[in-house]
Amino acid sequence: MDQELKLKDYPILSWIFGFVGIGWGGYAIVTTLPALNFNALIAAGVGLLFLLFSYALTATVDKQTGMLTLDYRSILLHSVKEIPLNEIQTIRVDSSTTRSSKGGRSTNYRVEAILKSGDVVPFRSYHSSNFFKHQKWANQLRAFLNLGEALDETPMGIFRAAQQVGAQASQTQQEAMTGSNAEMRNTNGVNWQLQSFGMGATPGTRWYSPDFKTQSGFLFLAQKATGQSSTGFLASLGATLFKQSISLYGFGASDAPNIQTAQTYASLSPALDAHFMAFTSNQAEARQILNPWTQQPLSDWGAKYPLQQFQSGGRFSQIVVLFGPKGVHIATQGTLTPDKLDELTRLGVDLVKAQGA
């Protein structure tokens, strides 16, 4: 059995720029002597910086030492980063999307190690454009270490998930709501009940209260994985994936009116933005709903039950919250144990009361 995997990445393009800059600058300086050619000097200096700070990367996984070693080397500089294998949860490809002044959009990528502590260790400090190379590295490393697939933001992973969601959504709408699973209950003055919905072979549970209803439109909040960027490739797909997610959790057009014109809500507080993404058809009403008394219990929930790359049986899975014309829903996959139901009810009651209901 192989005990070592070694992957190498050379910044060929940066090295070419470096040598060209030094070569052209040096030649121009010599041929214009004794005059000082500032443009040539700048070109040579920039070329030298490219060579000094363009690192070749060798990633070595050694099962005997139990280490993932990231070895960085340039012409003069050398550094090493070591990560114990038993601390690695998974390997993923992260993405970063930028927009140009002309409205264009470009997405770049990098490989990251996600630790069990929730920390993220990037293999490179910057993102680059070759998605397939990064995805190949992540796949090789995960396969070699017998790691499961990450909840990452790669295009292939996201589109694959979206396709699965779409397939399940039609079945969900057919199965639809099975109706009330219990009579209406009351906690601290807030009426609520449990509902179930189908998600293919996986059941889902929704906590529902009719005590607060939106006047126009809806607000949908989806919990996101720890470390997941709100500005990456996932955010660029925005409305498409939000619509898929809304369907996946059993909600229809009457629960989320005007969904075709809905947009991402970007004015979340930093504490809430660390754990949730929001989608709404009425930005003004969403702003009113997401008052400090609403954002605080959601932020506390995200800090207490962060959505990790892999969820153990003892943890809550992702929750989504829908404020709509029918009431307030909190949905999650699976069935709820009594203690989890109590936790979800406390959150639901806080969210309803935050609206003055």
Alpha-carbon distances, residue 309 vs 51, 206, 226, 304 (angstroms) = 37, 23, 8, 15
Among candidates 305, 332, 308, which has minimal Cα distance to 221?
332
pLDDT number for residue 248: 78
pLDDT number for residue 31: 84
Domain ranges in the chain?
Answer: 4-145, 175-353
Tokens coding 51? 């060579």
pLDDT number for residue 287: 93
pLDDT number for residue 102: 64
Question: DSSP for 111-157?
Answer: EEEEETTS-EEESSSS-BS-HHHHHHHHHHHHHHHTPPPP----HHH
Length of the chain: 357
For the chain (357 residues), the mean pLDDT of every run of 10, in chain order, is 86 82 84 80 82 87 94 89 92 76 71 88 88 87 78 46 44 40 82 77 80 93 71 52 79 88 85 89 93 94 76 64 95 79 92 89
Tokens coding 313? 């049986």
Number of Cβ within 10 Å of residue 344's Cβ equals 22
pLDDT number for residue 346: 93
